[in-house]
Amino acid sequence: MGATNIVTVLPLGLQLQVDPGQTVMAAARQAGFFWPTVCDASASCGTCVSIIESGTEHCGPMPADEQETLARTLVPLDGLRRLACRLTVSGPVTVKKRGVHQADTEST
């Protein structure tokens, strides 16, 4: 297994350790954080869309279900907007997503 990668989540300033093959949302949940979603990470709602601020070269390939959801929800397929429930990383990445918070601080 490779080394974990750091994903910084703005505006919270959270630094997540993301294992190889693990999604950003799964890493957030594992660390005790809530990531906004309606479909519970099935890549169908688009609510978890996040903006890649830096490190796009470390983002994993965009799977077909992510492409379909982004296109259906009229999000540009520019590689700068990704679904956290599908985003894997291979190096440091900074994303922007409002609404991420500790799971026990607000109702989910």
**Rg of the Cα trace of the chain?**
13
Nearest to 107, CA basis, from 98, 99, 95: 99
- Residues with Cβ < 8 Å from 54, sequence gap 6 or more? 92, 93, 94
What CATH number belongs to 5-101?
3.10.20.30
φ, ψ for residue 18 (rounded to 5)?
-115, 120
Q: What is the pTM of this model?
A: 0.91
With cut-offs at 50, 70 and 90, classify the pLDDT of residue 108: very low
pLDDT in tens, 45-91: 999 999 999 999 999 999 999 999 999 998 888 999 999 999 999 99
Count, residues in the chain: 108
Break the chain into its structural domains and give their ranges: 5-101
